Amino acid sequence: MGELTTDIKYLKGVGPKRAELLTRELGIETIGDLISLYPFRYIDRSSIQTIASISQDVASIQIRGKVVSRTLYGPSSSIVKTDSDKIHFNAAKRLSVIVEDDTGRMEMVFFKGIRWNYERLQPGQTFIFFGKPSEFNGRFNIVHPEVDEPQEGNMSQGVLTGVYPSTEKLKNAGITGKVMCKLQSAALSLCLPEITETLPDYILGDLALCSRQYAIKNIHFPADAYALQKATRRLKFEELFLLQLSLLKQKYIRSRSENGILMPKVGPDFNACFEALPYQLTGAQQRVIKEIRADLMSGRQMNRLLQGDVGSGKTLVAVLSCLLATGNGYQTCIMAPTEVLAQQHYANIQKYLSPTSIRCALLTGSSTVKERREIHAGLEDGSIGLIVGTHALLEDNVIFKNLGLAVIDEQHRFGVDQRAKLWGKGPEIDSSGGRQAPHVLVMTATPIPRTLAMTVYGDLDVSVIDEMPPGRKPVRTTLHTPAKMPAVYNFMRSEIAKGRQVFVVYPMIFENEKLDLSNLEQGYEDIMKEFPLPQYKTAMVHGQQTSEVKNFNMDAFASGRANILVSTTVIEVGVDVPNASVMVIMSAERFGLSQLHQLRGRVGRGAADSHCILIRDYKTSKESLQRLELMCRTENGFEIAEEDMKMRGPGDLEGTMQSGLPISLNIASLAKDGIILGEARAYAQKILEADPSLSDPRNERLAFELRREKYKVRDYSKIS
């Protein structure tokens, strides 16, 4: 026993050197870690192709070939001399092995392990070669093929062989796919008896899941395709189920605790604001406000995520929520990720608040010392009812008298620690300085696919505004190559002649800011040539400008002084210029779909017909084209987010949300396993309803699993 936790270096075939590499490259420290490294795909090794049948567009081929000749090449393809028996391996840079089958010949190329392969691949002998073919000078070759002896009875017992994640360094150190299979086989024969069941028998029976032991064995060495399918389903379910169970358990615990600030009243300010609105709330806005009001009256702390497309009217919902809190004598804050956004919020919010008696203030990095002093005082004595601001709100010297509700806009732009700071700013509840947590409403215009929301925000309540205010016109989206630019310029001129404004956006890829910046600057010059002063004015905004320069340029556009804004994605979030009717996006294929959707949301906010013009590079991959065509087809943010996740995997979305997943998934994929996730969540819910603390002996295994580090998920209720 105890093999699972044994240091990987003691596994047969590993040793200290390989162990170090396995740890560094794949995070494998113990034999158990190795077993948790599952294949990411499987190859059917039962089929052997002929050399004549090779074509370039296959991912891998397997041929049975006899070695014809071996040649060692030195630098610049000089042939390394082989005198009588002395071979100068040190001078060799490349080994070329010609192999043949009944249909033809091809080359196998090795840059590493030259001596070993040279000695092993003796002319006249037959081997199985496996790898990705590439075409070179009209002939096919395989660089670093996997080489197997053709005898029966080698590693792959079944016909399906797992392919494991690997790295260049591992391969160079001789940990090839075949070696990895050998290590897994050794690890399994040592540990299989130790692999215990994690799910209660009644669940296994209920859902017809295979045992954990069967699953682990067959995920590595599937007996057949059916066994692999059973193993995969079992392991994916387990992973998603335990995660949901842990998230939902937290939610249950919180929903039972009664420490939320109680806000039963509506108050005159809410009504004053509401009655002065020049329009009706949309059905979705009404529903969400009801949900929030119910939270505020529940005696439990609210932790609600409000999702809604750009322009769906989240700000108004935020303001009305704040007025519910102020109506009960509490202070509120609305925090935005950038100064420009905070200013814009402030301007809009002041309009909403004008019929009320609420004192509102703006605190940002550029507030003057004098302004700060007044604001700090107003927050401490409680006279400021609603403060709008940036990160500046989080500073230690910003002390509220009694913060009752914190609204965080575009929450993914805030780090976890920053959000945690808000937590300590609630009302004091005891003389020792203990504070009661404010209610928290986080808003996002990045529609998060349902499966991801279930996981990332599994313990939050989610409200969705899925209805646009009336009068918003659809944005016409079209896709072109740069050949169309002259026509695009003409179109821009005609729109500007009508008094409209135009965004021109360039991609920013963070690996190479200098290059991106020069793209942008080149683009700016192009635009300046096409749209010369004094007839046209063009402003430029990018992430490397100081905030004064950025604000100045942004303001030039927002106020209508500039006709064109050339920028990177810094305008992505929130900025509201209703007069802008055209959005031109350059190298559109380099943006994520969700990002394009955000950008497109910048136009179509006014009365005019709006246009989004996507310019793609000539060389755009098929997948990118499909993504861009989807943009032209739909304006539904959720549909786009789902597609984006399917096409790119959730990784990028996590990136854009920064908060990431509460745990990392080993086998399940949020993009592909939505159905299993739904099942897992429903099942977890059912179990917790009957046994919220998992104290029923039947659920003993579950309670045990949730104590594992892996499922100790971050508590979002405490940080967001």
Per CB under 6 A, residues contacting ligand ADP are 279-282, 285, 308, 310-316, 445, 469
How many Å apart are CA 360 and CA 384, to the nearest integer? 6
Binding mask 523-562 for Mg ion (x = CB under 5 A): ----------------------------------------
Residue 589: CB minimum distance to ligand ADP, A: 26
Closest of 91, 96, 97, 88 to residue 75, by C-alpha: 91
Q: Does residue 352 contact residue 317 with C-beta atoms inside 8 Å?
A: no
Between 313 and 378, CB nearer to ligand ADP: 313
552 binds, among Mg ion, ligand ADP, none (CB under 5 to 8 A by kind): none
Of the pair 311, 674, the CB lying nearest ligand ADP is at 311
Question: Rounded to the nearest whole angstrom, what is the least distance from the CB of residue 282 to ligand ADP in the complex?
Answer: 5
| 312 interacts with, out of Mg ion, ligand ADP, none, CB within 5 to 8 A per kind | ligand ADP
Give yes or no for a cis peptide into 532 (omega within 30° of 0).
no
Residue 316: name its binding partner from Mg ion, ligand ADP, none (Cβ under 5 to 8 Å by kind). ligand ADP
Range 292-311, binding Mg ion (CB under 5 A): none
Give, for 717, the enclosing helix (H) or strand (E).
Answer: helix 716-719
143 Cβ contact partners less than 8 Å away, ≥ 6 residues apart: 109, 110, 111, 131, 134
Residue 143 · residue 126 · CB < 8 Å: no
Say how far apart CA 371 and CA 570 lie, in whole Å: 27
Answer with the entry of ligand ADP, Mg ion, none that 308 interacts with (C-beta below 5 to 8 A by kind): ligand ADP
Q: Min. distance of Cβ 585 from ligand ADP in angstroms?
A: 19
Between the alpha carbon of residue 243 and those of residues 253, 661, 665, 677, the distances in Å are: 16, 11, 9, 10
Q: Nearest residue to Mg ion, using CB?
A: 574
Q: Which residue has the tokens 């740069």?
A: 482
Nearest residue (CB) to Mg ion, 306 versus 565: 306
Residue 650 site contact among ligand ADP, Mg ion, none (CB < 5 to 8 Å, cut-off depends on kind):
none
Distance CA 14, CA 369 (A): 63
Cβ 664 vs Cβ 510: under 8 Å = no
Of 126 and 286, the one with the shorter C-beta distance to ligand ADP is 286
Q: Of the listed pieces 241-249, 352-360, 559-567, 571-579, which binds Mg ion according to CB under 5 A?
A: 571-579
CA 41, CA 160: separation in Å to the nearest integer? Answer: 9
Min separation Cβ 263 and Mg ion, Å: 24
* Three-class SS state of 709: helix
Q: Minimum CB separation from ligand ADP for residue 610, in Å?
A: 14
Question: What 3-state DSSP class applies to 22?
Answer: helix
Residue with tokens 């997943």: 661
Q: How far apart are CA 440 and CA 460, in angstroms?
A: 10
Q: Which of 341/671 has CB closer to ligand ADP?
A: 341
Binding mask 219-238 for Mg ion (x = CB under 5 A): --------------------
282 binds, among Mg ion, ligand ADP, none (CB under 5 to 8 A by kind): ligand ADP
Nearer to ligand ADP, 218 or 610 (CB): 610
Q: Which of 32, 162, 574, 650 binds Mg ion (CB under 5 A)?
A: 574
CB of 474 to ligand ADP, least distance (A): 15
CB of 319 to Mg ion, least distance (A): 11
Complex with ligand ADP: residue 43 or 341, whichever CB lies closer = 341
Q: Which span sits near Mg ion by CB under 5 A: 262-270, 271-279, 396-404, 566-574?
A: 566-574
Residue 426 or 574: the one with the smaller Cβ distance to Mg ion is 574
CB of 465 to Mg ion, least distance (A): 11
Residue 426 binding: pick among ligand ADP, Mg ion, none (C-beta 5-8 Å cut-off by kind): none
SS3 assignment, position 680? helix
Cβ proximity to ligand ADP: between 467 and 521 the closer is 467
Dihedral (CA of 651, 653, 657, 660) sign: negative
The distance of closest approach from Cβ of residue 657 to Mg ion in the complex, given in angstroms and rounded to an integer, is: 17
10/274 with CB nearer ligand ADP: 274
Write down the least CB distance from residue 414 to ligand ADP, Å: 16
Which partner, ligand ADP, Mg ion, none, binds residue 311 by CB below 5 to 8 Å per kind? ligand ADP
- Residue indicated by tokens 């294929």: 589
- Supply the minimum distance, in Å, between the C-beta of residue 706 and ligand ADP: 37
Sign of CA dihedral 100, 104, 105, 106: negative
**Total chain residues near Mg ion (CB under 5 A):** 1
What is the C-alpha to C-alpha distance for residues 329 and 296, in angstroms, rounded to an integer?
A: 13
For 467-510, the DSSP string reads -PPTTPPPEEEEEE-GGGHHHHHHHHHHHHHTT-EEEEE----G
Comparing CB distances to ligand ADP, the nearer of 285 and 594 is 285
CA-nearest of 184, 132, 133 to 161 is 184
Burial 82-96 (b: 16+ CB within 10 A, else e): eeeeebeeeebebbb
Query: Could you tell me the two tokens for 206?
Result: 């209920």
Closest distance between ligand ADP and the C-beta of residue 279, in Å? 4
- Between CA 37 and CA 718 the distance in angstroms is 32
The strand ranges marked E within 150-287 are: 160-163
In angstroms, the CA 609 to CA 474 distance is 8
Instruction: List interacting residues with Mg ion (CB under 5 A).
Output: 574
